[in-house]
Amino acid sequence: MEALSRPQRNVMIDLGRFVYCWAVVFYHIYNGTGAHFITGRYGVEFFLLVAGVFFFRHLERDQDETTGQYIGRRFARLFPWSLPAFIFGFIVLRVVINGSDGKTLIQALSSDIWEALLVKMNGMNQDRALLIAPMWTISSMFLAEIVLVGCYRTGRKTFLNVLLPTGLIVGFGYWAMTDKGAVEDWIGFTTFGTLRALLVYGCGYYCLKLGQYLKTLDLTRLAEVLLTVLESMCHVFALLVMTHYDTRAWQRCVLLAFFVAVAIELSGHSLWNKALQKCAPVAGWLGAFSLSIYLIHRPVTRYFEKVLYPGLDNYYAHLLPLVAAIVVCSLVHYFLVTGLIKFWRKKGGKIKALVLRGGTKG
C-alpha cells in the first residue's frame, strides 16, 4: 500500500521532539514559580502521540510478530537508554544529594530498580514520584504498549472498531471527571500517567489514519500552503499555551493541536518538511538526542538546585551553566548508549557464541 511505504525522515517530527523536550526541561527548571513554561510538561503529549503513531504503523507492517516478540524487542530497545540514566540519577540523587548510607541505599534500590525495569508506573510507585521523574513516560509507554499490542494481535477488528474508540470515549471522560491528575497517582486500576499514555497512544492510531488519508490526496500548491500554515499555527498555539495556561482542558487542546500538526507532517504535504529535507540527518540526530536530554536533565537540575546553588535566586542566576551541564551530561549519556548498542550489534554474535552451546539459531 502507498500509505504504508517507508517515508523519508520526517524533519518536522524530529525537530518537534527536540523543541518539546526543551519545553519539558524548562518546565522542570522553573517548576512551581510560574515564571516560564508553566505547562511545558504538555510537551510529553507530543512524544506520546508520535510514539503511538509509529507503534500502530509498526503493527500494520509486521503482522506476523507475536505479542511476546514485540514486548521483548521493545524492552531491548528501551532498556539500554533507561539503565544508564537510572544509574546516573541514583548516584546523583541518592548518593550525592541525599548522602545516604549503604543500608539506606540498598533499601532504596529495592524500590527504585523497578523504575529501571520500566514497570514501576503500574502502581508500584505507591503514589510517589519516580526517582528520575521523566522516567514515568518511558515506563507508562512500555506498559501501554503491552496492553495495546495484546489487544491488537488477539482481535484486530474488534479492537480497532469497538475497544479502541470506546476506550477513548470512556478514558477521556474519566480523565476529565477525576480529581487526581498527577501522573504518579493511583486511580483505581493503574497510575494516571499510564492512563494518559494509553489514551494518547490511541489518538496516535487516528492521527496515523488521518495522515495516510491526506497522503492519498493530490493537493494543489495552494492547499499545501494552507496545510503548512495550519501546521505552523498548531505548534505556535501549543507553545503559547505552555507559557500561559495550566488546566487539563488546555492540555486536551494542546493534544488536539499536536494531532492536526503531526497528521499534516505524516501526509507529506508539509512544505516545511520539503524545504528542510536537506537537514534531515541533523534533525534526525537532534530527535534521537532529545531522549537523552529528557532522561538526564532532572538529576542535573536537582544537583544545581540543592548542592551547587541552593536558593531560587542563586539557582536562576546560573541558568546558562545549568543548561550547559544538561547538554554535556546528555551528550555523555547519548554517546555511551549508542556506543554500547553499536558494540553489541558488532560483537553480540560472538558473545552469544561463548555462552550458548552451539551458538544461536536463526
Give tens-digit pLDDT for 137-174. Answer: 999 999 999 999 999 999 999 999 999 999 999 999 99
DSSP code for 195: H
Q: What is the mean pLDDT of residues 63-76?
A: 92
pTM of the full predicted structure? 0.92
pLDDT in tens, 13-35: 999 999 999 999 999 988 766 67
Predicted pLDDT of residue 361: 52
- The model's pLDDT over 288-302, given as tens digits with 9 standing for 90+, comes to 999 999 999 999 999
pLDDT of residue 309: 85
Mean pLDDT (whole number) for 26-46? 85
Interatomic CA distance for residues 207 and 203, integer angstroms = 6
Supply φ then ψ for residue 110, to 5 degrees. Answer: -60, -25
Summarize the confidence of residues 42-66 as an average pLDDT. 94
Residue 6: pLDDT above 80?
Answer: no
Model confidence at 275: pLDDT above 90:
yes
State the chain's mean pLDDT as an integer: 91
Q: Residue 273: is its pLDDT beyond 80?
A: yes
Express each pLDDT in 96-123 by its tens digit: 998 878 889 999 999 999 999 999 999 9
Q: Please state, in angstroms and rounded to a whole number, the distance separating the CA atoms of residues 358 and 45.
A: 46
Type of residue at 190: T
CB neighbour class for 164 (10 Å; exposed up to 12, middle 13-18, buried from 19): buried
Q: What confidence score (pLDDT) does residue 320 get? A: 92
Does 50 have pLDDT greater than 50? Answer: yes
Identity of the amino acid at 264: I
φ, ψ of residue 186 to 5 degrees: the values are: -80, 130
Residue 140, C-beta contacts closer than 8 angstroms, at least 6 positions apart: 121, 183, 191, 193, 194, 196, 197
4, pLDDT greater than 60: no
pLDDT band per the 50, 70, 90 thresholds, residue 86: very high
Q: Which residue has the cell 507530543?
A: 46
pLDDT of amino acid 33: 66
**Mean pLDDT, residues 60-73:** 91
pLDDT at 360: 52
> With 70 as the cut, is the pLDDT of residue 5 above it?
no
| Amino acid present at 202 | G
Cell numbers at 63, concatenated:
503482522
Tens digit of each residue's pLDDT (9 = 90 or more) over 215-252: 999 999 999 999 999 999 999 999 999 998 888 889 99
Assess whether pLDDT exceeds 50 at residue 3: no
